[in-house]
Structure 1
Amino acid sequence: MKRYLIIQLARFGDLIQTKRLVKSLVNREGSEVHLCVDHSLAALASIVYPETKVHSIAAHGKEKSSHASMDVLLENISSFQALREQNFSEVFNLNFSPINFRVAALFSDLPVHGYFWKNGQEQIGTWPAMAMRWSRYRRLGINLMDFWAGYCPDMISPAQVNPQATPKGGGVGVVLSGRESRRSLPVETLSRILTTKASSLKTPAICLLGSKGEVDAGKKVVKSLPRHLQDKTVNLAGKTNWKELVEVVADLDLLITPDTGTMHLAAHLGTPTLAFFLSSAWCFETGPYGLGHTVFQADTSCLPCLESEPCPYDVKCLDCFNKPEFHRFLVTQKGTHAPDNLLTFISNFDELGLVFESTSGEDSHAEDRKIFRSIIHQFLTGQNVHASEMETPFIRKLYQDKDWSTLVPFGTIME
C-alpha cells in the first residue's frame, strides 16, 4: 500500500478545488490518501472526502504572525508527530505559505511535490514556479482544480470529478457575500437580481446563505424583496454548520453566488450555479467545476485586478450588473439584450480540464487561451512537444529552458 498526503491549508473553496487531485490519488490501485487541513475545515473535509483520512492542525490565523513558525510548532507538536508516523510514500504540498513550508519540513526525506525543504532552504517545484510566471497572463489561465491535479501524471478525466449539475427541486439559494467584498454584489444589486431571477423561475423557496457576519445583510435582502418573495425566503446566514450547509445546497434548483466556497460546494454536489465574477475573480481560474453551470463575468480592461490594492476606477466592473439591460437579459437570455462589458459563459471540458464557452459578449482572448491550454497540455503529457508557429511566442514568455529540459519523463518535473 502507498500512502499519499495532501497538505491543503488554504480556505473553504480551495479544499473543494482539491477534488481532482484527491480522486486521482484515490483512483490509484492500493492507495491510501490522507488530507492535512486546518482545524476549522476538518469536519467539512470528512464530509466531502469520506474516502480519505483527515488530519487537522492549527493553521488559519497564523500566517500574519511575526512568530508564525514558533506558534505553529508549539500548537501542533502532537499533530506533527502523528503525521510523521504515517510512513507516507509521497507528499503534495499545495500552498505557498510559511506554515506549509514548516509542515513540509517534516518530510524532507520524502518526495514532496509543490513547496518543500531541501538542504535547509525553502524550495519551489517546477510546476508551481511555472504557474507563478503564468499569473502575469491571468486571462489565459487554467482552473485551479486542474492545476493541482497536474501534479498527477495519471489524473482522472475532468468529467469524472463532479456530477453534471441538475435542479433538485428545493428552490433557489443565494450566497450573500464572499470573503472579499469587492468580488461580491452589494446588497441593493443582489436584491434586484434575485427579484428578477426568482420571479422568472417561479421558485418555490429562497434561502439566503452566509456566515454570522452576513446576518444583517440577509435581513436587508429580505426586506427589499417584493412581498410575494419575502414570504418564501428564509435567512440562513450564520445558522448552518458544515453538515447542514451541504444538505441545503444539495437540495437546490440553483445557487446564485459570487466566487465562493459555497459555489464550489454546489458544483461538487451537482447543483447548478449562476455565478457572478468581477474584480479579482476570473472564471477561467476559479469557476464552478463541471457541466451545467453559468457564469456572468464582468469584462473591463482593468480585470482581473488585485483585491489587496485600492480600486482607482470606483469598481466600474460592477456597473454592468446594475444596468436595466442586465435584468432584461436575465429574463430573455438573448445575447442582444446583454449590457456592455459583460461576458456570459457556460461550463464545458477540453482535454486539459474545465473551460468556459461564451454565449454572449466577445471573449477577445478565446483563441490565445486555446493556444495557451494546448501548450500546457503538451507540457503535462509530453505529447507533440514541437511548437507551432503560433505557440512559439507564448512558450518564450511562459517557460524557461530548464522547464522543457525536464519534460520527459513526466514524474521528474513535479517536485
Structure 2
Amino acid sequence: MNKALVVQLTRFGDLVQTKRLVLTLQKRSLEVHLCVDKSLKSLASILYPEVVVHSIVAHGTGINDSGFNSVLSTNYDIFNTLKSINFSEIYNLNFSPMNYALSTLFDSAKVKGHKIVNGQPVKSRWFDLAFRLASERRNNINLVDYWSALSPDMLPASEVNPKAAPKGGGVGIVLAGRETRRSLPYDVLAPLVMSARSTNKCKKIFLLGSQAELELSRKLLTEFPPSVAADTVNLTGKTDWAELADTISSLDLVITPDTGTMHLAAHLGVPVLGFFLSSAWCTETGPYGVGHTIIQADIECSPCIESQPCYNHLKCLNSFKDSGTIRFVATRNVKYLPAGLTVFESDCDFLGTNFLLKAGKDGTGERRSRLRKFIACHLGLLDIGEYGPFSDIAEKFYKEKDWITA
C-alpha cells in the first residue's frame, strides 16, 4: 500500500480542519501518516484512529525540563523515522520554518503545499493561487477545502462531518479563543447564553476551556441567576482531549467564538452557534458541514487583522450588546436582529462548506458565489463551458507563471 504523509504543525483547530484531506487520502487507498506537534498527539489519535501519528516538538509547549537538548533529540529521531519511510506523497500544509525543514527530508517532486526547492521556499500552484484569492477575505473558501484541494478526487464535502443534530445532553459554552478580540466579554456572553438555553429542553450548561479561562468562567457564573448557576458544570481546565470530546459528543448545542472546540463539535455532529467578530469570518474558518449557525459581525472594517490595533473601538462588538440580539437568539425572528449582524447557516455544495444567508445583509454574496464557481472550475469540479467564462476574475487572480510553468 502506498503511503502519504500530512504535516500539520499548527494548532488544535487546524488539526481538526485537516479532516477532509485525511479522509480523501484514505479514500484513495493510501496509508495515511500524520505529523503533528507533540501537544496534539493524543488528540490526533482520537480524531483519526486509522492514521499513523508522528509527533515532533514544533511549539514551546513541547519543551520539557530537559530544555532544547530534548527537543533536538526527539525531533532528530522522528526526522530519521520519517525519512526512512517511502512516502509517495507528502502534504506540507504550513509555512513555518519547521515545515520547511521537514520538507527537505523528501524528494521535492513528492511534496505538495510548502517546500524548499534549490534553497528557495516554494508554494504549490494551488496554494499560490489560493493566497491571491484570500485577498477577498469575505469571499474566501473554508480552510478545510483549501487544504483538501491539494489532493485529487476530494471526498464530497457532505461526507466529511455528520449532519449536526442535538444529542440531548445540554449546552456547552466555549469561553474564549486564542485571539482575544474574537471572543465576547463574559458580561456580553452571559445574556446570550441564557437566551439560547431558554430554547433548550435540557437546561444543563457546561463551561469549556483551558486553565487560562478559569477566572473568566468564574466571572461568567456570577452573571447567571443562582438557579442557572446550580445547573452549570464548570469543566474549565479540567478535561483532557478524550474527556473534552466525550463531553461535547453528548451536547445539544455548542456556543462558541471561532475556536478549535467549535471545529471539534462540528467533527462530532453537534450543532454550533458561533459568534464571529473582529478577524473571524465564517466563510474562512466557520464550522464544517451541515446544520451550524453563525452570527457574524458585519461592519465596514470586517474582517480585520487581529495583529493590528483596532481603531474603531471594537465597533463590531456593539451589536452583540443590543437587546435585539438576545431576543433573536431566543426566537430566531429576524425582526429582532440589529444592524451590524448577519446570520449564516452552513451547508455543503460542489466545492465544500458554504454559508447561506438567513438574516441580515450579505453584501458580497453574489461575488462569493461566482468565485466559488470559478475555483471549482479551476479545480476541475465544475465544467467551465457551463459556468464560465470568468474573464474578470481570471484577469485579477491568474498570473503568467500559472500557465507558463505548468
Q: Fold conserved (TM > 0.5)?
A: yes
Letter in 2 for 1:95: N
Give me the whole-angstrom Cα distance separating, in 2, the residues matched to 1:13 and 1:89.
Answer: 27
What is aligned with 2:24? 24
Superposition map of 1:277-292 within 5 A: 277-292=276-291
1:50 — aligned with what? Answer: 49
Q: Which whole-Å CA distance do the structure 1 matches of 2:61 and 2:226 have between them?
A: 45
Count of aligned pairs? 401
* Separation in 2, partners of 1:334, 1:405: 53
Q: CA deviation at 1:405?
A: 5.5
Whether contact under 8 Å (1:108, 1:117) holds in the other structure is no
Q: Does 1:120 align with 2:119?
A: yes
In structure 2, distance between residues paired with 1:175 and 1:261: 10
1:342 aligns with 2:336: no
The CA distance in 2 between the partners of 1:405 and 1:332, in whole Å, is 55
Equivalent position of 2:222 in the other structure: 223
Paired residues of 1:279 and 1:303 also in contact (CA < 8 A): yes
Q: Could you tell me which amino acid in structure 2 is paired with residue 132 of structure 1?
A: F
Check 1:388–1:195 CA distance in 2 against 1; reply closer, same or farther (3 A cut). closer
**Paired position in structure 1 for 2:85:** 86
- Give the AA of the match of 2:307: S
Give me the whole-angstrom Cα distance separating, in 1, the residues matched to 2:389 and 2:3: 42
The residue matched to 1:106 in structure 2 has which SS?
coil
In the alignment, the residues of structure 2 paired with residue 171 and residue 303 of structure 1 have an alpha-carbon distance, to the nearest angstrom, of: 32
Give the match for residue 306 of structure 1.
305
Contact 2:21 2:154 in 1 (8 A): yes
Distance 2:172 2:330 in 1: 18
Partner of 2:204: 205
- Structure 1 length-normalised TM: 0.93
What is the one-letter code of the residue matched to 1:106? Answer: L
Structure 1 runs not aligned, ≥5 long: 64-68, 407-412
Measure how far apart 1:264 and its partner are: 0.2
**How do 1:82-161 and structure 2 match up within 5 A?**
82-108=81-107, 110-161=109-160
Residues of 1 paired with 2:403 and 2:364: CA distance?
Answer: 25
Amino acid paired to 1:240: T
Note if contact 2:278-2:304 (Cα within 8 Å) is conserved in structure 1: yes
* Residue 9 (structure 1) aligns with: 9
**Equivalent position of 2:65 in the other structure:** none
Q: C-alpha displacement at 1:320, in angstroms?
A: 0.8
CA distance in 2, matches of 1:240, 1:187: 21
- Is residue 91–residue 111 contact of structure 1 (8 Å, CA) maintained in 2? yes
1:7-37 per-residue CA deviation (whole Å, 9 max, x = no partner) reads 00010000000000000001113x2000000
Partner letter of residue 12 of structure 2?
F
Change (3 A) 1:382 1:290: closer
Per-residue CA deviations over 1:138-171 (Å, capped at 9, x if unaligned) read 0111000011110111111001100011111110
* Alpha-carbon shift at residue 250 of structure 1 (Å): 0.3
Amino acid at match of 1:121: Q
Aligned partners of 1:156, 1:223: CA distance in 2, in Å? 46
Counterpart contact for 1:348–1:357, Cα < 8 Å: yes
Offset of 1:70 from its aligned partner? Answer: 11
Looking at structure 2, the residues matched to 90 and 237 of structure 1 have their Cα atoms a distance apart, in angstroms, of 40
Structure 2 match to 1:214? 213
Amino acid at match of 1:141: N
Identify if the C-alpha distance between structure 1 residues 70 and 119 changes in structure 2 by more than 3 Å, giving closer, same or farther.
farther
Q: Which amino acid aligns with 2:20?
A: R
Work out whether residues 142 and 284 of structure 1, in 8 Å CA contact, stay in contact via their aligned partners in 2.
yes
Q: Are 2:145 and 1:183 aligned?
A: no
In the alignment, the residues of structure 2 paired with residue 62 and residue 119 of structure 1 have an alpha-carbon distance, to the nearest angstrom, of 32
Distance 2:128 2:52 in 1: 29
User: What do residues 180-223 of structure 1 show as CA deviations (whole Å, max 9, x unaligned)?
Assistant: 01000101111111122212324331000000011111111111
Task: Using the TM superposition, give the Cα deviation of residue 398 of structure 1 relative to its aligned residue in structure 2, in angstroms.
Answer: 1.4
Unaligned runs of 5+ in 2: 63-67
Question: What is the one-letter code of the residue matched to 2:78?
Answer: S
Q: Structure 1 residues 382, 333: closer, same or farther in 2, change over 3 A? A: closer
Contact 1:62 1:71 in 2 (8 A): no
CA–CA distance in structure 1, aligned partners of residues 331 and 193 of structure 2: 15
- 2:264 corresponds in structure 1 to 265
2:297/2:342 contact within 8 Å kept: yes
Find the counterpart in structure 1 of residue 376 from structure 2: 377
Amino acid paired to 1:212: Q
- Check 1:186–1:62 CA distance in 2 against 1; reply closer, same or farther (3 A cut): closer
* Structure 1 CA distance for aligned equivalents of residues 46 and 323 of structure 2: 41
The equivalent of 1:61 in structure 2 is: 60
Shift of 1:351: 0.5
Deviation at 1:75, TM superposition (A): 4.8
1:192 & 1:341 partners in 2: Cα distance?
A: 19
**Cα pair distance change 1:372/1:72, threshold 3 Å:** farther
Report the Cα distance in structure 2 between the residues aligned to 1:70 and 1:356, rounded to whole angstroms: 47
Shift in CA distance, 109/141, structure 1 to aligned 2, threshold 3 Å: closer
Q: How many percent of aligned residue pairs carry the same amino acid? A: 48
AA matched with 1:148: W
Aligned to 1:323: 322
Per-residue CA deviations over 1:83-123 (Å, capped at 9, x if unaligned) read 11111111000001111000111113551000112122221
Structure 1: how far apart are the matches of 2:305 and 2:395?
25
Moved more, 41-50 or 222-231: 222-231
